[in-house]
Each structure stands twice: as structure tokens, then as C-alpha cells.
Amino acid sequence: MSFSASDAAFEGFRLTRRSPMTVLWWALAYIVFFAGVMALASGPIIQMVSEMERLEGMSDPQFSDFNALGLTYFSLFAWIMPLSLVFGAVINAAVARAVLRPAQSAFGYMRLGMDEVRVLVVTLVLAIVFGVIMALGGTVIGFVAGFANASGTSGLWLAVILGGIVLMLLAIWLMVRFSLAVPIVVAERRFAFLDSFARTRGRFWPILGMAVLAAVMSLLVGLLGSIIAQAVTLMTGGLNVLSGMEEARLDEILRAAWPALLGWGVINALISALQLAVIYAPFSAAYRELKGLPQD
Amino acid sequence: MAKRGFSIGEALGDGFRLVGQRPLSVFVWGLLMLVPSLIPILILAPAFINMPWAELTAGSGAPDSAAFNDYVLRSNLANLLSYALQLLVYGMLGAAVYRLVLDPARGRRRPFGLGLGMDELRVAVSYIALFVAVMAVMIALILVAVGAGLALWPVLSEGGRAMGVFVMMIASLLAILLIYARVCLIPPAFVAVQDFEFGVGWRLGAGQTWRLVGMTLAIWLLVIVIILAAYAVLGAVGFGLWMALGLSTVLPESPAELFDYVASNPRVAWLSVLMLPLCWVYGMTGVMGLAPYASAVRQLTPTDAIAEPAAPDTNEL
């Protein structure tokens, strides 16, 4: 089956028009997720900020002085990272479900079931494969650069730069070839690690064109959203009210800055939800067209 | 699709023809081109006036933070709005000119050929995509040039290095021109086929690269000549008007002095009449920068796919 790249690129807008409540659900999910993370992380973040201020005040900080900062950072990262991965899987699966199974619209298509587990595992495995390939390529380039530097063989620098460009092109190629993985996993309800490769064979350019269109649309949505956010900031005075409140408790900060924080949070969550639909829905639409599935 | 060449003369002529047929539209398009610069000024003006200029010029301590915060917030909003308006205006202008050159029937029944629909979105999207693509290629070219420079630097003599830098600059410029020539037909082709098909414009440009480079250089030259001539004429008229109005030859040196100067010399407002011919010139440069590419698309596309230009319009609206 063939598919129209320009038609698929607008699936996010069609989804938003067909089910505007879905976008509100996703925005709400963003708000809940970020509010939860901020509430849980505010303590360690404040600790990190004061630790950084302490380090700034030192004239000759030693490596051991960074230990406390590093420990706080990694302990924060250790539980924010898995939470983000689960949240990402829920949202990614929701977008694919919204395009591929439009009837299952409850809770903005968000679930926490086997689809999400499969999406989490497949995206994690593909991200690791992608990361390993990039790291290998980067290591080879780094080795050549190191050799060029040590031996004074200046001619090798051209090879290093060309290698870097080839690696970036390889990254784009891999991303396009992996891009249908989530829709396949959700549509076929199975762990599909390499099926995206087969499904995208011979369709690299149309899918890349569709991705470029979706990215530009997302950029436009972001730009328009930023204008609204900036206008709201102008009306509420913005987050400038937070300046001078470094020592304040969370409840004091919230009391002083709640209109600005609320406006900023709601608008950014809405923009993120819209961008999510605009940028991810086209890939599910492309899969649906390539597979010859019905739209409803 | 039968492949044939296109005439640069006809393409440039289509630009002049459109200017001649729609002088009022050209003025409106020029006026529209000023909007992205004017609206942000209107947003910034109140904060700009409220700035503590006396403190700033005297350097007497920290400026008022509330006025500064207001200025920064407004300036952020003005920047974002300016980007959005530029996209909107150039999308509208591009779509209007492309439509009128590709198929005048599609451009009629629209006020000044302008509209706000999918054609405008297609043009805006194509401009963003091409801007990003050309920027990415430019960065890659700069990196390659740096790599080649590093490789050749030790083996070249002093004179050879200077020559190498010169050759590299020329080669990079030529490479950017060639790439631009290969992609420049994509925006009008979007409007011609009424679809977001990057492949159509790309394929139309195949085998026409050098001709498109030549046309692009001719357009740049033409636009530079038009602007220089217009500035020379308008500068002379402006100077004559300034003297005729008996305005002072001592020019204000700060924004505060400028406000005082305008307040005490209301006749200076007469100089704003020069905006009218300036708008027309801007509109004309806009048309000359856009119409030839649409003409090339029309010439390169079989005649049964896109209509030839129709007879001159009698009613611009």
C-alpha cells in the first residue's frame, strides 16, 4: 500500500478537531505529572541550588566538594528517569491509540496496561540500539580525532568532520526507519522491535518529508503558543515575582506566584499536548495507510 | 512529464508584468511587508517611553527595575509576534504572487490577490523547511571547509593559504547557490499542485540548476538596483522636503531628544508621505523576488497542467 505524506502529516490536527477533549486530557496529564515531579523534587532541587551557591562561593573547589551535589543529582535522576519513561510510554501509546483505535476514547486514550508495557520496552530497546550505534560511531570518530591530534596528521581532521556528518545522516536514517515502531506495537498488540524497518523499506523519503512537515507544524504551534504564553506573562507579571524568593518555602512561593505559575503551567501543558498530537499522530496515520487499515 | 527548459527573460518579465498589471496590489503588498516591523514597535513603544532615559544617559545608578522588566517582557512578546507576522505576511505575499503568476484565475476574486488558506500555509511551511534545510547544509559546508582548511594548512605556503581561503569561500558560496537553486522551486510548486509535495519542486529543478542560479543572481542584482535607485530618489526628495519645511539641521541624539524634537516640530510628520512610494518599492522588490520562480514552475510544467498567464486585469480587486 502507498500513503500520502502530506495527508498523514496533518493527522494531528484532524485528531484535535475530531476529539478536542483528548488534547485537554493530555494537557491535564502533563500538569499532574509536572506538578507531582515538582512537589517531590522541590526539596532535592533546593538542596542542589544551595550546594551550587556554596560551590560558587569557594575560591578553589576540590573534586570531593562536588560529591554532595553529584549524589543529590543522581538520586533525583534515579527516580525521575523511570517515571518519565512510564509517562512517555502512556502518552505515546495514547497518541497511537487515538489514531488507530479512535473508538477507545475514554481518559484521552490513556491507559496503563500491556500496550504501555510493550511501548515502554520497545522504545527503550530501540533507544539503546540507537544509542549504541551512535556511541560506536562517535567512538571511532573520537579515536580518529585523538590520533589526528596526537600524531599531528592534520589531514585526518577532514575525515573526522565528514565522519561526524555521516553519523548525523545515519541518525536521521535510523530515526525514520524506527519511526513506525510505536504504531505497530499498539496496532498489533505485540513486541515488534524490527518490524518498523520492514514497513518503512523503500519509503524513506515520503516518511522523512512527512516528519519534516509535522516538525514544522509543531514549530508553528509552539510559536503561536509562545505568543499567548508571553501575553499572559505580560498580564500576570511573569515569573519575575519569584526573584528574591530563593530562600522562601514552597507554600510561600505558591502564595506569591500562583497566578503566574498557573498561567504558565496551563498554557505550556496545552502547547505540549497540541505539539504531541501534531508531531506523533502522523506516524500512526502513515502506518494505518501503509497497512491499508480503515480510518474508523 | 515532458522536460523542457525555461526562459530567464520570460520569468523576470512575468515579475515586471505583474507589477505593471497590479500597481495598487504592489503597494498593498509593500505595506503588508512593513507590518512585521511596525506591530512590535507599537508593543514596545509604551515601555520604551517609560524607560528612565535620564538615569541611563547620566549613568547615575541602577535603572528602575519595574520599567526594565516591563520592557524585557514586551520585547520578548514583540520578538515572537514579529516572527509569527513575518511568516504570515510572507506566506500571504508568496501565495498571492505565485497564484497570480501560475494561474491568474485563482488570484482573481481575492482582494489584492491576497487570501488566508491552505496556499498561505503551504508557502509558510515550505519557507521554514527550506530555511532549516539551507541552514543545516550551510553549517555542514562550514565544517567541511574548516576540516579541509585544517588538512591543507600545514602543506601550503603563505600565499597558498590566502588563495586556499579565497577558493574555499568561493566554493562555499557556489555550493549554497547551487543548493538554493535546487530547492527554490519547491514553494511555488506547493501552490501549483496544491499539495505539500517536496518532490515536485525538486524534480522540476532537475537539469535546470545553472539556469536557476543565473536567474537567482539576476534577481538579486535587479532588487539591489531597484532599492538603490529608490533610496537615491527618495533621499533626494526627502532632503528637499526637509529643507522646504524649514526643519532644523541639528538632529536629535537620544530618544528623549527625538520625542522633544517631534513634539516641537509637528511639520516633520509630512516626511511620512515618503512611506507611500517606499511601500510600493518594497512591494515591487517582493514581487521581483517571488514571481520569477513561479514563472519557472509554470514554464517547466506541461501547459495542460497549469494555465498560461491570462490577459491583463482591469480590476485589481
The DSSP secondary-structure symbol of B156 reads S
Rounded Cα–Cα distance for residues B106 and B113 (Å): 9
Average per-residue pLDDT for chain A: 88
**Sequence-ordered list of residues with C-beta below 8 angstroms from that of B67, at least 6 positions apart, any chain:** B47, B50, B51, B52
Q: Reply yes or no on whether the pLDDT at A162 is more than 60.
A: yes
Cell matching residue B35? 507590518
B27 confidence band (pLDDT: 50, 70, 90): very high
Question: How many A/B residue pairs have CB atoms within 8 Å?
Answer: 78
**Inter-chain CB proximity A161 and B147 less than 8 Å:** yes
Q: How far is B174 from chain A (nearest CA, A)?
A: 19
Q: Which residues of B touch A6 (CB under 8 A)?
A: 195-197
Q: Reply yes or no on whether the pLDDT at A262 is more than 50.
A: yes
Distances, alpha carbon B291 to alpha carbons B16, B100, B104, B114, in Å: 9, 9, 12, 15
Cell matching residue A132? 549504541
Given this model, what pLDDT does residue B36 score? 86
Q: What is the pLDDT of residues B144-190, one digit of tens each?
A: 888 888 888 888 888 888 888 888 888 888 988 999 999 999 999 99
Percentage of residues in chain B with pLDDT exceeding 90? 42
Rounded Cα–Cα distance for residues B102 and A141 (Å): 49
**Inter-chain CB proximity A154 and B153 less than 8 Å:** yes
**Inter-chain CB proximity B199 and A205 less than 8 Å:** yes
Q: Reply yes or no on whether the pLDDT at A39 is more than 50.
A: yes
Beta-carbon neighbour count of residue B5 at 10 Å? 11
A2 confidence band (pLDDT: 50, 70, 90): confident
B114 confidence band (pLDDT: 50, 70, 90): very high
Average per-residue pLDDT for chain B: 85
Sign of CA dihedral B206, B209, B215, B220: positive
Q: Model's pTM, two decimal places?
A: 0.83
ipTM of the complex, rounded to two decimals = 0.79
Phi-psi region of B247 (alpha: psi -120 to 50; beta: other; left: phi over 0): beta
Rounded Cα–Cα distance for residues A101 and B56 (Å): 62
Residue bearing the bigger pLDDT, B47 or B121 = B121
CA A85 to chain centre: 10
A156 phi, psi to nearest 5 deg: -70, -20
B314 confidence band (pLDDT: 50, 70, 90): very low
* A149 in contact with chain B, both atoms CB, cutoff 8 A: no
Phi-psi region of B109 (alpha: psi -120 to 50; beta: other; left: phi over 0): left
Q: Reply yes or no on whether the pLDDT at B315 is more than 90.
A: no
**Inter-chain CB proximity A227 and B80 less than 8 Å:** yes
Query: Residue range B87-111: average pLDDT?
Result: 90
Rounded Cα–Cα distance for residues B23 and B315 (Å): 11
Q: How far is B317 from chain A (nearest CA, A)?
A: 30
Q: Reply yes or no on whether the pLDDT at B94 is more than 60.
A: yes
A241 confidence band (pLDDT: 50, 70, 90): low
A15 confidence band (pLDDT: 50, 70, 90): very high
A183 confidence band (pLDDT: 50, 70, 90): very high
* Least trusted range by pLDDT, from B128-142, B198-212, B253-267: B253-267
Given this model, what pLDDT does residue A46 score? 73
Of A160, A213, A217, the CB nearest to B147: A160
Given this model, what pLDDT does residue B2 score? 46
Q: Reply yes or no on whether the pLDDT at B213 is more than 60.
A: yes
Residue bearing the bigger pLDDT, A164 or A59 = A164
DSSP per-residue letters across A40-76: HHHHHHHHHHHHHHHHHT-SS--GGGGHHHHHHHHHH
Residue bearing the bigger pLDDT, A181 or B67 = A181
Closest of B135, B29, B133 to residue B91, by C-alpha: B29
Q: How far is B214 from chain A (nearest CA, A)?
A: 28
Residue bearing the bigger pLDDT, A39 or B196 = B196
Per-residue b or e along A219-254, where b marks 16 or more CB atoms closer than 10 Å to that residue's CB: bbbbbebbbebbbbbbebebebbeeeeeeeeeeebe
Given this model, what pLDDT does residue A210 score? 95
**Inter-chain CB proximity A226 and B153 less than 8 Å:** no
Rounded Cα–Cα distance for residues A188 and A184 (Å): 6
Q: How far is B292 from chain A (nearest CA, A)?
A: 25
3-state secondary structure A7-46: HHHCHHHHHHHHCHHHHHHHHHHHHHHHHHHHHHHHHHHH
Given this model, what pLDDT does residue B303 score? 63
Rounded Cα–Cα distance for residues B141 and B134 (Å): 10
Q: What is the pLDDT of residues B265-285, one digit of tens each?
A: 777 788 888 889 999 999 999
A190 phi, psi to nearest 5 deg: -150, 165
* B211 in contact with chain A, both atoms CB, cutoff 8 A: no
Residue bearing the bigger pLDDT, A101 or B105 = A101
Given this model, what pLDDT does residue B55 score? 66
Contact B202, B183 (CB under 8 A): yes
